[in-house]
Amino acid sequence: MNTDIAQLVSVALYTPKPAESVAFFHDLLGMEISHREGQSVYLRAYEDFYQYTLKLTEAKQAGLEEVTWRASSPKALETVVMRIEASGLGDRWTDRDYAHGRAYKFCTPDGHRQKVLWDLDYFEAPPELKSKLRNRPSKRPLRGVPVRRIDHVNLMVSDVVKNTDFMLNVLDFKLREQKIGDGGAIVGSWLSVSALVHELALMRDSTGSRGRFHHVAYWYGAQQHLLDIADIFAERDVRTESGPAKHGTTQAYFMYCFEPGGNRVELFGDTGYLIFDPEWKTVVWNVANEVDLEKSSIWFGGQLAKSFYRYGTPVVLGHSLEEIGR
């Protein structure tokens, strides 16, 4: 598929518990630490080809620092930046981020900080991490149940239509699935730039807040690994929210949990389904209809917790996990 954005590169998160957050991703999800700098730690999954896909930075509150996208070519980068600047949501060019070259910073209409680039550093495994599989950038780790690669990011928005239109018209995403609610209001969008059903989901924040983070997803490629990590989480009192189960929307096998800093993380079992059709017609779920409401959220495997539509980071007053309850 020929879009100006090629893929999701990385997600940068704030955490009030940096040591515990790093231990969660390193020890339980088997991620490797690529770099430490100041109050930040950079990590990658063992099949992530770039230097890092997750940056954790110490801060008072959990939340999103930035999402980074890679353009399809240097020319596509310039084209996208022209459209971002015309939208009025552009910020500036920067070349100061670790492992990322010249990049253009901007915001979504809701205020989520983003960055788009072409130049970046590929991961070069040191001898002890080198895999004999020539198409695997580093050895499969021995810790926890190692995730394989970053998959997608989910952002909570105050206005799904406005933010979806921005991603479609300015960033060149394709609209794969959508949920409409009472009165035809659009309450969620699943967008992609590849055959994946989504690299980005936008969901209505039912607290009415702007610019919050819902989750980052790492991919296993096998449902059994969700059961394995669920077993390990239960032994170690890691807080989980829903799953292992299967969504109707995107057909994903999933489990949601919270890293110690409070950010939601999704572990993604298989790929869902793939889209190769250049004339794809957006799949629409009408969640005002009870069957669609139930089947889109959970195809099988229990229920989504109440917190799923209300909890995000940063946490807003009255909407902590404890206050929302199960």
Closest CB 98 distance from Fe ion, rounded Å? 26
Give the residue with the Cβ less far from Fe ion, 76 or 202: 202
Q: Of 248-277, which residues contact Fe ion (CB under 5 A)?
A: 266
DSSP, collapsed to helix, strand or coil, labels residue 184 as helix
Closest CB 82 distance from Fe ion, rounded Å? 31
Give the residue with the Cβ less far from Fe ion, 68 or 250: 250
CB 251 within 8 A of CB 196: no
C-alpha angle 119-120-121 in degrees, rounded to nearest 5:
140
Q: Where are the alpha helices (DSSP H) in 156-308?
A: 160-169, 223-235, 290-297
CA 107 distance to own-chain centroid: 16
Q: Of 188-217, which residues contact Fe ion (CB under 5 A)?
A: 217
Give the residue with the Cβ less far from Fe ion, 104 or 190: 190
Q: Of 217-236, which residues contact Fe ion (CB under 5 A)?
A: 217
Q: Which amino acid type is present at position 16?
A: P
- Using CB under 5 A, which of the segments 113-121, 149-157, 283-291, 297-305 binds Fe ion? 149-157
Of 174, 210, 207, nearest to 282 by C-alpha is 174
- Using CB under 5 A, which of the segments 128-136, 146-154, 169-177, 234-242 binds Fe ion? 146-154
Give the residue with the Cβ less far from Fe ion, 144 or 272: 272
Distance of alpha carbon 254 from alpha carbon 193, whole angstroms:
21
**In the structure encoding, which two tokens stand for residue 241, read together?**
């929210």
Closest CB 201 distance from Fe ion, rounded Å? 6
Size of the site for Fe ion (CB under 5 A): 3
Give the residue with the Cβ less far from Fe ion, 5 or 217: 217
Give the residue with the Cβ less far from Fe ion, 187 or 217: 217
Q: According to the binding rule CB under 5 A, does residue 71 interact with Fe ion? A: no
Closest CB 11 distance from Fe ion, rounded Å? 12
Phi–psi pair at 272, nearest 5 degrees = 80, -130
**In the structure encoding, which two tokens stand for residue 70, read together?**
């890679």
- Using CB under 5 A, which of the segments 32-40, 78-86, 154-162, 279-287 binds Fe ion? 154-162
Distance of alpha carbon 211 from alpha carbon 195, whole angstroms:
27
Closest CB 152 distance from Fe ion, rounded Å? 6
Sheet holding 5-15, edge to edge: 32-37, 40-44, 54-58, 5-15, 63-71, 113-117, 103-107, 90-94
Distance of alpha carbon 167 from alpha carbon 178, whole angstroms:
14
Give the residue with the Cβ less far from Fe ion, 217 or 226: 217
Closest CB 256 distance from Fe ion, rounded Å? 8
Distance of alpha carbon 115 from alpha carbon 109, whole angstroms:
14
Numbers of helices and strands, H then E, in the chain: 6, 17
Give the residue with the Cβ less far from Fe ion, 59 or 283: 283
Closest CB 153 distance from Fe ion, rounded Å? 8
Closest CB 178 distance from Fe ion, rounded Å? 15
Binding site for Fe ion (CB under 5 A): 154, 217, 266
